[in-house]
Structure 1
Amino acid sequence: MDNFFAELFERELLKLKDELNKFKDENNIWQAAAGITNTAGTLTLHLLGNLNFTIGTQLGQTGYVRNREQEFSLTGVPRETLVADIEKTIEVIRFSFETVDRARLDEPYTLDFVGPKSTGWYLTFFYGHFTYHMGQINYLRRILEAD
């Protein structure tokens, strides 16, 4: 099946990679601005952990074990490593959606975060979560690197 969710998530992951590569100063990936809690690096780790768990483990049965606490405590990961992890996550997305058909989207999602909902509903929820944080990363880069 040509799954539009796989296409959308891959598209956003490529945007994330592009956004990290737009940082003129790699150190700014791990900097925050006044009143902002999370760095672009932290948000990247969080987004990758989320997708690897909610899609990779839950749909693709990849066996990924999420360490959400580490997503918010780890710092200083080189841009090159983050970009490589984005590429790996794209492969996880492609693999995980290989067997997802329209019927699967209507089935209940394997976990209950906000109530029992369909897999399609949760995938839409996760997509919104991803794009929300992408906007934060974009604005943070612009704030930190304003000319």
Structure 2
Amino acid sequence: MDELRKFQFEFVENCCFRMDESLRMLKIALAKVSEDQVWLKPNSSLNSIGNLILHLCGNMTQYGIASLTETEDKRQRDLEFSTEGGLSKNELLNKIHVVIEEVKSTFSTISIERLLQQKQVQGFDFSGIGNMVHVVEHLSYHTGQIAFWVKQLQNESLGFYEGHDLNTKNED
């Protein structure tokens, strides 16, 4: 395996790990809230957990699937934020799980040429690598927002790293 292929493999593996970590945290967070709380908005300028999950699904599909596979972009972004219910916690988790798995599959099969090729997404020019970085950081960003909102609602730790000593020092 040449160095470029090794880099690609390592990069994809780390992207997939980070997406799986966000999904793990979303499952923990959603387990702590009621069905009604999933669609509760903190105030009129913020989004519900349900809206954020729909938004993540739309964004990951646009950046992580449609753009990278050069298929039609069918995203309806406004619906991600205007929806006020109709999906349960389990349906939302299943929806995002399916999208994450499809994105991971896309990342794993994308050519090096496409990774380096610039394409326009949402009016911005990104390489395939740029799309992948966007998908991972955007998922992480909104996962953090959801975690914050759940902590505020429940006034308790979510225990994302229970059983891990986060004070362990780096080793050379």
What range describes the TM-score normalised by the shorter chain of this pair?
0.7 to 0.9
Select which of 99, 120, 124 maps to 1:89.
99
Instruction: Tell me the residue number matched to 2:169.
Output: none
Maintained 8 Å contact 1:33/1:144? no
Distance verdict in 2 for CA 1:66–1:35, change over 3 Å: closer
2: distance between equivalents of 1:111 and 1:28? 33
Select which of 36, 39, 47 maps to 1:38.
47
The structure whose Rg is larger is: 2
Question: TM-score, normalization: structure 2?
Answer: 0.71
Range that drifts further, 8-17 or 42-51: 8-17
Question: TM-score, normalization: structure 1?
Answer: 0.81
Q: Which runs of 4+ in 1 moved over 6 A?
A: none
Distance verdict in 2 for CA 1:125–1:81, change over 3 Å: same
1: distance between equivalents of 2:36 and 2:88? 9
1: distance between equivalents of 2:83 and 2:44? 20
**What are the within-5 Å matches in structure 2 for residues 1-147 of structure 1?**
2=9, 3-4=12-13, 5-23=15-33, 25-34=34-43, 37-61=46-70, 63=72, 65-76=74-85, 77-111=87-121, 113-114=123-124, 116-146=125-155
Aligned-pair distance for 1:20?
A: 1.8
RMSD of aligned residue pairs (Cα, Å):
2.4
Percentage of identical aligned residues: 27
Name the SS for the 1:59 alignment partner: helix
For this pair of structures, how many residues does the alignment match? 145
Residue segments in structure 1 that go unaligned for 5+ positions in a row: none
More strand by share: 2
2: distance between equivalents of 1:61 and 1:106? 14
Residue segments in structure 2 that go unaligned for 5+ positions in a row: 1-7, 157-172
2: distance between equivalents of 1:58 and 1:84? 23
